């Protein structure tokens, strides 16, 4: 099996590293940690590791979850395995961070604990030269507002993965815009659309971090 396929398979199966006892048939074999480490050491492009290895693995487990073929613990193991790979990509994405293009406050909105996509946004934005303040997950509208007050002129990036938490994105956007109308609010996450973005009064939406970077780059240029 080719390296990226092995990385994807280990993410999908929740094989974190060589020491992980799970899954039993892969006991003693390399996991995501070792495969990503070795791929990078061999000169693999960090973007390829992400888009051809880690992300397809997570998509695979997500589709299986939708079909009831795997369950929440499997997702948790997959997320842990993905993080073991993403931690190693971080310095590569951050290497362009010397030049700060602006400040972006990011977080996953209230009620939502999904942070993999948001972490990707953070890493890629840092790599694109922005200072990123990551408020984490389950962030209340008030917490976003407090950070904007503390860092005037910053932009805000909201992530939501659940249809039930998208409404909190609206509340957050409206609160920020009511106090600081000039603040740029960008949004993303699997269930979102441009239509929803416009409806809640946010400035931009992208299905992926790259689109947000390009939109902000054009804005701050």
Query: Which parts of this chain interact with ligand B1M (CB under 6 A)?
Result: 55, 58-59, 61-62, 65-66, 72, 75-76, 79, 111-118, 120-121, 157-159, 161-164, 186-191, 206-209, 212
Q: Using alpha carbons only, how large is the chain's radius of gyration in Å?
A: 18
**Phi then psi for 209, rounded to 5 degrees?**
-60, -35
Q: Which is closer to ligand B1M, CB of 190 or CB of 220?
A: 190
Nearer Cβ to ligand B1M, position 111 or 201? 111
Nearer to ligand B1M, 16 or 58 (CB): 58
What single string gives the DSSP state of each residue in 75-125?
HHHHHHHHHHHHHHHHHHHHTTTTS---EEEEEEBTT----HHHHHHHHHH
Cα–Cα nearest to 94, from 54, 129, 120: 129
Name which of 108, 7, 90, 118 is nearest 55 in CA terms: 7
Least distance CB 125 / ligand B1M (angstroms): 9
DSSP state of 9: H
Contact 176, 185 (CB under 8 A): yes
Question: Going by C-beta distance under 8 Å and a sequence separation of 6 or more, which residues neighbour residue 164?
Answer: 111
Quote the least distance from Cβ 132 to ligand B1M, whole Å: 10
Closest CA to 58 of 86, 35, 38, 37: 86
Tokens 């659309």, residue located: 193
Distance in Å, CB of 161 to ligand B1M, minimum: 4
Shortest distance (Å) from residue 98 CB to ligand B1M:
23
Nearer to ligand B1M, 35 or 124 (CB): 124
Question: Least distance (Å) from ligand B1M to the CB of residue 28?
Answer: 26
By beta-carbon proximity to ligand B1M, the closer residue of 27 and 76 is 76
Closer by beta carbon to ligand B1M, 27 or else 48: 48
State the nearest-atom distance from the C-beta of 91 to ligand B1M, in Å.
19
């Amino acid at each position: 099996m080719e390296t990226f396929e092995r990385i994807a398979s280990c993410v999908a199966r929740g094989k974190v590293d060589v020491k992980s006892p799970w899954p039993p048939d892969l006991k003693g074999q390399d996991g995501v940690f070792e495969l990503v480490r070795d791929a990078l050491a061999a000169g693999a492009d960090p973007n390829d590791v992400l888009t051809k290895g880690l992300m397809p693995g997570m998509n695979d487990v997500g589709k299986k979850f939708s079909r009831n073929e795997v369950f929440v613990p499997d997702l948790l193991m997959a997320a842990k395995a993905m993080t073991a790979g993403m931690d190693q990509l971080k310095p590569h994405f951050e290497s362009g961070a010397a030049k700060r293009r602006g400040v972006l406050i990011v977080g996953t909105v209230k009620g939502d604990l999904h942070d993999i996509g948001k972490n990707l946004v953070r890493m890629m934005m840092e790599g694109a030269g922005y200072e990123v303040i990551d408020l984490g997950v389950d962030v209340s509208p008030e917490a976003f507002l407090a950070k904007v007050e503390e860092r005037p002129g910053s932009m805000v990036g909201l992530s939501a993965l659940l249809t039930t938490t998208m409404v909190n994105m609206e509340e957050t956007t409206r609160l920020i815009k009511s106090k600081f109308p000039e603040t740029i609010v960008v949004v993303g996450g699997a269930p979102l659309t441009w239509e929803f973005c416009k409806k809640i009064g946010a400035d931009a939406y992208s299905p992926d971090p790259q689109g947000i970077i390009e939109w902000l780059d054009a804005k701050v240029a």
